Structure 1
Amino acid sequence: MFENGHPDGASSGLSILLVDDNRHVAESLGMAMQLAGHRLAHAEGPEAALSLLASQRFDVILLDLNYSPGKTDGAEGMALLTRLHAEDSAGRIVVITAHSGIRIAVAAMRAGAGDFVMKPWRNADLIATLERVARQTDPASTPAPVTMTDRPARLIGESDAIARVRSLIARIGPTSAGVVVSGPSGSGRSLVAAALHAASPHAAEPLTIVDLRDAASWPRIAAAHGALLLRHPDRLGEVEQGRLRQLLPDAARCIAIADRPAEIAPALARRIATVEIAVPPLAARGDDVLLLARHFLRLAADRYGRSGVRFSPSAEAALRVADWPDEVRGLAAAIERAVLLGEGDTIHTGDLVATPPPAPLPAPAVRFDLDESERAMIEAALREHRHNVSHAAAALGLSRGALYRRMARHGL
């Protein structure tokens, strides 16, 4: 009725995110919110909450402060509150605390919460509090940021590498400095550019996007207001870069995406590339691959009506070691394909491997490209099933004989 923020027949009211590990609380509140004309999405902890916040917008967040069994000090919730407020200082948050937790509630208010409610509560009082806090974000007075998609510009990941990117966005975003975003194609450069725009003084104004490889898009440059996103200035010749510099409106904030920032001429770089933000490759982000994979799994499961689907332990082990040539974009595509083609409620290792099309002649180059990933996935499946070849073969979607042949090829 209310899971994922889409209750039956709801077309108005508040969109509320509840972050609470207690499903009974979520079910009870879901029915109360639906009767009040509001929509409730539920996240059981910080990882699920950040995933939801990266895929849709909420008017207000109702945040419990403890998620792990035995935890009562509120540290988990305070850490999430601090993160949410740092990423979106205009976000409206109401914290949940126990009757004796007034000290924690006061600390939460100082950290950015708009209000707090104490357990146990009356639903009518809770709803009134949420409505009052949400009204403080009236679009008429505080316009929502304009991004390149309808999704919020939030970066998923906890690695040091992506934390440095978030830190630079927080420091540079509110300024008018020109920024060039570099890094591998598919690593999330457009999302970083959108996050910069969302953090800027021009966030409420449209972001004009110009692919500089397309001559037909150049007339949009002079007419831009607020902010410009320039794709591939490094691919322009010296004359074209000079022409671009002359066309840029004086008041426009420029964000560029480039493969080779060093190819941008110094005169143009002073205007559009005062600071470089290098998006790290997925291989440098450690366990972020699992957080991203679960995020993409939730999105695909929602899109294709496969609620409850999960990764098997062997699939998660394979995700950690697999090579993703198209970076985060390639990972997202693989997860979506696995959701579409997988059977049952579990995504297995074999579901994550694209089967190469049949070829009339042997294609050793294809085997070479997949060699390391295939070996890693076979090893992960064997470990998961304690070297039971029959079970590992079933998890990989292979026959027992086919798995033996691949094991022999890899020296396993």
Structure 2
Amino acid sequence: MIDANVLVIDDDDDILLSAKLFLKQHFKQVIICKSPKEINVLLSRNEIDIILLDMNYQKGASDGREGLYWLEHILSIDKDYVVILMTAYGNVELAVQAIKKGATDFILKPWENDKLFATLSSASRLRQSTKKVKKLEKIHSSMQKDMARAFEHIVGNSEPVKRLQGTLVKVAPTDANVLILGENGTGKQVFAYELHKHSLRKNNIFMHVDLGSLNENLFESELFGYAKGAFTDAKEDKPGRFELAEGGTIFLDEIGNLTLPLQAKLLSVIQNRTVNRLGESKERKINVRLITATNMPLNEMVGKGTFRQDLLFRINTVELVLPPLSHRGDDILLLAEHFLQSFNVKYHKNLQKFDTKAEQMLLSYQWPGNVRELQHVIERAVIMSDGLHISTDDLQLSPQKFGGTPVMQTDMALEDMEKLMVQKAIDKHKGNISRAASELGLTRAALYRRIEKFDL
């Protein structure tokens, strides 16, 4: 049984009955209709995948004009509808005209059942493929919008950041390969996306690949793709990340984690600007902008023989070295304010600012986890704070080793904080669920689900 809904439109009752009796054995749903004037209502009420449309409706007509008219009408509603025209009058010129206007296929009546089934099966595969592509396009568009909202711009006025921004403005419009170096949490992905956003490729995809999460078995199939039958589970052709990033930017994070054999394979792709899918010999040209990043000392690794010098030459036409957060001065407060406003929106809070002691604590802490740690600390503080300002108690930073090896209290997970936040709201409003839900920015149903989840 094929998972597709078929609409058959013909003014001949015998044709409709014959089509329904045969097609309902093979397709999920078959809807029949005598007049094309009902098309609008039928398409609005049903999820239709394939439309089998007769070309003549007036008595004695054989020129197919009506069919061409209704074909154009259907495609004006949705250009992705799969329409197969049918007629009792074989006319090659008419068939060519129908295909040019957007018909998927053309069949003659009376049909052979096997041929009709083959035609509709092929049409169903086309429809499913089109729907999958449209879904991927929507996902991609949504991801790009989410990413743009998440990064927006680089926050900071410190000298190191200003120098980086100056370099970024010069490099972004080019196709130069960029290597971003920096400790964990310094914002390498943010800078990579900023390069993409200011490049000539900004309207195309930004593909982030975490190489550190790919083992040797997955590396080639994920990055270069594979052909059907290349290995046991390869049931269909699949493009790799390089192909999916065509026309855009591919960001290879944690490149320092690659083994020497994988480095050699990556080098070949970068040099030749082509990929070979696993299981096929065909070379496919790629057009992508390459940005890489790592927290590892690649130059030292070249000296030790654990990173290829020729690969390093290829990936670092321009090198950006991101400073640790502790070297960025008042950027700490700018970033803290940025995160405060962001989490105010997320958690439906209205915290105004950090008090003076909290600011001093933020500036004196060493931030071993860099910007990522600061973001986590501010998120937790927003969740935990009961007042209008963030205090040192809200930050939960241990003062014992400031200036040395810093210690952060991490014994409370975000889920525990959420539980505490829900409990506080319920206690504050003396069990009034409506008011507690309103303060938390939740519906009553959503709050009840959390009460059940946390067994409150």
TM-score (norm 2): 0.45
Larger radius of gyration: 2
TM-score (norm 1): 0.50
